[in-house]
């Protein structure tokens, strides 16, 4: 299995630190609002990496945090007149709903920054003791120049990073020894949440949070650290400096970064009016379509979101879902049950598509080519399963498609939706049952509908229903 390592700028053979196990950390969202489709890309991409690793036989420990203390969270809280904790808890809940709809599996652990402050104070204290950090009037800074390898991930030369470069500057830098030093701990401002520390009542800097959460749940050294390419500098660069200075070992062996997402070839922004949350997209499409769209391009490539491309993704996904539905129908209705000799050969031939799928995924998780292999398998099934086929043959091909789709996180079996006319029909039957005093049947129908997410309300105007 080959992975493109941002650290070395080349594809490398994946060799885990511990045989058969993968320790993987993915930077999660800052929770001050609903997640947007840019946030969704790394969630989908690295969930798929995890799924393939598990399919390949690895035991994966997957940690993805929620940043639940941040300037944006505090601003949202002040705007609403509520606590920062209320904002972060609300949007963690909303984020988890969106992740579930995108079929992004829960991480092994979703740590919250606010629950790991003690560990952050410990790591900062260690960095101060080792001379890598210093206290300046209650703000603790990291001595960037003291870490000799600074810039190794982003390939930035520290001498070129002048004080005027806004990408590394942080507020309150008049007390720094060097303009390039970055914040590990900052004192509270009026009305902000804060924690006690040896330096001041305050809160941690953003970068130290991930270093500490990764160390606590995965250890000093991990196999894969991942996130969007916008995090390479300064966030991931600073994580490396802190972690390696504190722990004395290489932080992560492999660094993976997904490309940017544009909207109609423009950067997504609220000012351009092309800003979409995952929830916005869910109003028009099943979020499986968004997942399929994201996987239709290589994760390192920039991806362009447009109505046309989403329609193309919807059509592509429908091809797979329809094939699975047809194969299930054939399996249920074919008369022959046992596999015929020529069908055994055809099933063996179908393994060629599985090999193509694996080869694509083993080559730096090329999901676009993996999807092509699934399409080839779909076409093969459509051509070869006929009225004279056996149940076992239809089932065998169906299960192959389902298995490969599941590795991509694609749910292949359509959820059966109860139609409006079915509901009306059941309500009518319930009314008749009540008139004939068959209350047991009436209650049975109410419960049946409730199980399907339909709530009945008996009103003066008659029975009304709504979806739960």
Please classify residue 438 by burial: count the beta carbons closer than 10 Å to its beta carbon, then call 0-12 exposed, 13-18 middle and 19+ buried. middle
> Is the pLDDT score of 202 beyond 80?
yes
Percent of residues, the chain, with pLDDT higher than 70: 95
> Is the pLDDT score of 166 beyond 50?
no
> Is the pLDDT score of 452 beyond 60?
yes
- The lowest-confidence range among 27-31, 228-232, 446-450 is 446-450
Class of the domain covering 306-407: mainly alpha
Mean pLDDT of 222-236: 97
> Is the pLDDT score of 108 beyond 60?
yes
pLDDT averaged over every residue in the chain: 93
Q: What pLDDT does 169 receive?
A: 46
Please classify residue 196 by burial: count the beta carbons closer than 10 Å to its beta carbon, then call 0-12 exposed, 13-18 middle and 19+ buried. exposed
Q: What pLDDT does 461 receive?
A: 64
Question: Model confidence at 162, in pLDDT bands (50, 70, 90)?
Answer: low
Q: What pLDDT does 443 receive?
A: 86
Which of the pair, 170 or 387, is modelled with greater confidence? 387
Q: What pLDDT does 163 receive?
A: 43
> Is the pLDDT score of 152 beyond 80?
yes
Architecture of domain 2-258: 3-Layer(aba) Sandwich (3.40)
Q: What pLDDT does 417 receive?
A: 52
Mean pLDDT of 105-119: 97
pTM over 0.85? The answer is: yes
Percent of residues, the chain, with pLDDT higher than 90: 81
> Is the pLDDT score of 174 beyond 70?
no
> Is the pLDDT score of 467 beyond 80?
no
Q: What pLDDT does 167 receive?
A: 47
List the chain domain ranges: 2-258, 306-407, 420-467
Q: What pLDDT does 60 receive?
A: 98
> Is the pLDDT score of 76 beyond 70?
yes
> Is the pLDDT score of 214 beyond 80?
yes
The residue written with tokens 């970064």 in the block is 257
Tens of pLDDT along 80-95?
A: 999 999 999 999 999 9
């Amino acid at each position: 299995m080959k992975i493109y390592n941002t650290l070395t700028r080349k594809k490398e053979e994946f060799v885990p630190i511990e045989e058969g196990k993968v320790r993987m950390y993915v930077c999660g969202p800052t929770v001050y609002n609903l997640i947007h489709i840019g946030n969704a890309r790394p969630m989908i991409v690295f969930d798929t990496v995890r799924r393939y690793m598990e399919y390949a036989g690895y035991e994966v420990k997957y940690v993805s945090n929620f940043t639940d203390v941040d300037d944006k969270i505090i601003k949202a809280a002040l705007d609403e007149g509520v606590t920062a904790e209320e904002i972060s808890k609300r949007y963690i809940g909303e984020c988890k709903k969106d992740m579930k709809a995108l079929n992004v599996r829960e991480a092994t652990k979703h740590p919250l920054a606010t629950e790991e402050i003690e560990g952050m104070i410990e790591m900062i204290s260690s960095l101060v003791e080792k001379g890598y950090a210093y206290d300046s009037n209650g703000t603790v800074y990291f001595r960037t120049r003291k870490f000799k390898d600074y810039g190794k991930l982003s390939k930035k030369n520290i001498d070129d990073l002048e004080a005027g470069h806004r990408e590394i500057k942080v507020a309150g830098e008049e007390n720094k020894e060097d303009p390039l030093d970055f914040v590990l701990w900052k004192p509270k401002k009026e009305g902000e949440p804060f924690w006690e520390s040896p330096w001041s009542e305050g809160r941690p800097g953003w970068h130290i949070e991930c270093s500490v959460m990764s160390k606590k749940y995965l250890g000093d050294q991990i196999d894969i650290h991942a996130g969007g390419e916008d995090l390479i500098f300064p966030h991931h660069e600073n994580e490396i400096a802190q972690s390696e200075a504190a722990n004395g070992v290489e932080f992560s062996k492999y660094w993976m970064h997904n490309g940017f997402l544009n909207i109609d070839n423009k950067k997504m922004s609220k000012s351009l009016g092309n800003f979409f949350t995952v929830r916005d997209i869910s109003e028009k499409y099943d979020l499986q379509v968004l997942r399929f769209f994201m996987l239709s391009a290589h994760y390192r490539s920039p991806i362009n979101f447009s109505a046309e491309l989403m329609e193309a993704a919807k059509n592509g996904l429908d091809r797979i879902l329809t094939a699975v539905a047809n194969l299930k129908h054939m399996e249920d209705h074919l008369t022959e049950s046992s596999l015929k000799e020529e069908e055994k050969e055809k099933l063996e031939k179908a393994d060629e598509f599985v090999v193509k799928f694996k080869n694509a995924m083993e080559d730096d998780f090329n999901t676009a080519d993996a999807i092509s292999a699934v399409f080839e398998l779909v076409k093969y099934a459509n051509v070869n399963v006929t009225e004279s086929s056996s149940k076992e043959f239809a089932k065998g091909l169906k299960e192959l498609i389902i298995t490969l789709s599941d590795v991509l996180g694609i749910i292949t079996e359509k959820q059966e939706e109860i139609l409006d006319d079915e509901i009306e029909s059941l309500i009518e039957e319930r009314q008749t049952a009540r008139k004939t005093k068959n209350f047991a049947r009436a209650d049975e129908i109410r419960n049946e509908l409730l199980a399907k997410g339909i709530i009945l309300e008996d009103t003066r105007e008659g029975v009304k229903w709504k979806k739960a």
